Structure 1
Amino acid sequence: MAGPPASSCESLLDRLVRVLPTWPGHNLGVCVDMRCLCSSPSVEEDVSSAAAVYPGCLAHEDSRLAMHHLVSTKYKECLMELNRLLVDVALKQGVRLDVSGRLTPELLKKRVLQLRRDGGDAALWLGLVQQVLGVTQAMLSPS
C-alpha cells in the first residue's frame, strides 16, 4: 500500500495510516474496529479498546474504487464518494438509506449501521464498509 506522491498529507489514507493502530509486525497494515457490525450496541460499549477484535482492513478486491478515493482525493471529496458508493450498494441490496443531513463521519457510520440493520448480503458490501468505518474512526480520533 502506498500514498500519493505529494509532500503534504492531504489524502485520507495518510490520516488512516497515522491514526489507526497497526497490525502487529506491519508498518502500513492498519486495524479497523468492526465491533459495530458484529455486536449489539450495549456489548460494543462494554468492550475496552485493548480487548477489541480488529478484523477489518482497507485493501479489498471488490472495493478498489473506494481505495482509489482514499489514496487520491481530499477529505470532503472522499467522504462524498464513499457516501455515494455506500448509497449505491444499499440500493442494490434493496435498502433505502436516510440521505438527509450534512455529510460527516458520524453520519457515514450511522448509514453503515442502517445498512447492517436493514439488509442484504454482507459479503457484497463488507470491503466498502470496512473502508468507510476506517475513515470514520480516523476522522473521529482525537489524534
Structure 2
Amino acid sequence: ALPAELRTAVRALVGDLDALFTALGLREESFAVGVLSRVVAAELASYAPARNRRRMATNKASVVFVDRTLDLAGAVGHHGDNLAEKILSVLPKLPGHKIDVMVNMVELTALQTTDETCGIIAPGCLAQPNDPAAKALWESFMNLKQKEAVMEARRHLVEAASRENLPIKMSMGRVTPEQLSSYIQLFRNNLKALENHCGLLQLVLATVQTLKHPQTSKWDNFLAFERLLLQ
C-alpha cells in the first residue's frame, strides 16, 4: 500500500489528468510501465468522473504512463568505455567552469614536486578552440573507445614531435601512461615546440593523469560489475 501522502498526491494527479482529458474530449486507453505507473493508471480507470467522461467523449487516445525512477540509475551509471567521460569525471573542475577540468602542467616544467595540488603553475584545460589538432583529438576522446582514443593521442603526439624534429620513435602495441609521458617530456625543453602544440599537450596530459588516477581503476570495476548485472 502507498503511504498516505503519496496516495493523496496520486489522487491529485489523477484529478488533474481527468480535467485535462475532459477539456480535450478524450476517451483514453491507459498503458503503464512500472509499479507507480500502474497505480496511477488503475486510479484513473476507477475514478468516477473519468468513467463518466469516457462514456461521453468522442476522441480516442492512448495514454502511456512510464515510471522515471530508473533515471537516477542512468545518471550514476558508468556507461561504456569513453575516455572523455572519464576525464570529466576524474579530474578536478576548473574554477569558474562547469564542464572543464584542471590539467596539471607541472610535467612540462622543470619544477620538481610530487604535490598534485601544487598551485605554482597555472592549470591547463580541455577547451582548445584555436588548436585544430587538439579539437580533433578531443572529438576522438568523445567518439572512440578508450583504447582507440589513447592510440589517437599517441599518434597525434608522434606527428607533432616529428614536425618539430624531436627525437621520437613510434612504438606499436599497447599505449601506457608512462609512454605518453615520455613523449611529452620531449617537448619540455623546446619552447617553440611547446608553444606550437600547447593545446594538444594539455589534452594528452589530461589523458595521462586520468589513466593514472586511482578512481579510474574503480570506474573500470564498477563498469564490469554493471555489465555483469545486465547479463
Which ranges in structure 1 are unaligned for 5 or more consecutive residues?
1-6
Tell me the distance in 2 between the aligned counterparts of 1:100 and 1:10.
23
Counterpart pick for 2:92 among 21, 26, 33: 21
Tell me the distance in 1 between the aligned counterparts of 2:168 and 2:191.
10
Question: Structure 1 vs Structure 2: percent identity of aligned residues?
Answer: 30
Task: Point out the more displaced range, 26-35 or 114-123.
Answer: 114-123
Alignment pair present for 1:73 and 2:144: yes
9 and 27 in structure 1: CA distance in 2 versus 1, 3 angstrom threshold: farther
Query: SS in structure 2 opposite 1:49?
Result: coil
Letter matched to residue 185 of structure 2: L
1:35-54 correspondence to structure 2 within 5 Å: 35-40=106-111, 43-45=112-114, 48-52=115-119, 53-54=121-122
Alpha-carbon displacement from aligned partner over 1:17-37 (angstroms, at most 9, x marks no partner):
110001223322100000011
Tell me the distance in 2 between the aligned counterparts of 1:116 and 1:98.
17
- The aligned residue for residue 73 of structure 2 is none
Pairwise CA RMSD of aligned residues?
2.0
Contact 2:94–2:125, Cα closer than 8 Å, also in 1: no
Tell me the distance in 1 between the aligned counterparts of 2:110 and 2:80.
34
Alignment pair present for 1:124 and 2:196: yes
Query: SS in structure 2 opposite 1:123?
Result: helix
Task: Point out the more displaced range, 113-122 or 124-133.
Answer: 113-122
Alignment pair present for 1:56 and 2:124: yes
**Offset at residue 119 of structure 1 (A):** 6.9
Letter matched to residue 154 of structure 2: N
**Offset at residue 57 of structure 1 (A):** 0.6
TM-score of the two chains, using structure 2 as the length reference:
0.53
Letter matched to residue 50 of structure 1: T
Query: SS in structure 2 opposite 1:99?
Result: coil
- The aligned residue for residue 3 of structure 1 is none
Alpha-carbon displacement from aligned partner over 1:28-83 (angstroms, at most 9, x marks no partner):
2100000011224xx223xx233334420112121211111111111110011111
Which ranges in structure 2 are unaligned for 5 or more consecutive residues?
1-77, 216-231
Letter matched to residue 129 of structure 1: L
**Offset at residue 125 of structure 1 (A):** 0.7
Q: Which has the higher strand share?
A: 2
Tell me the distance in 1 between the aligned counterparts of 2:171 and 2:137.
22
Q: How many residues align?
A: 133
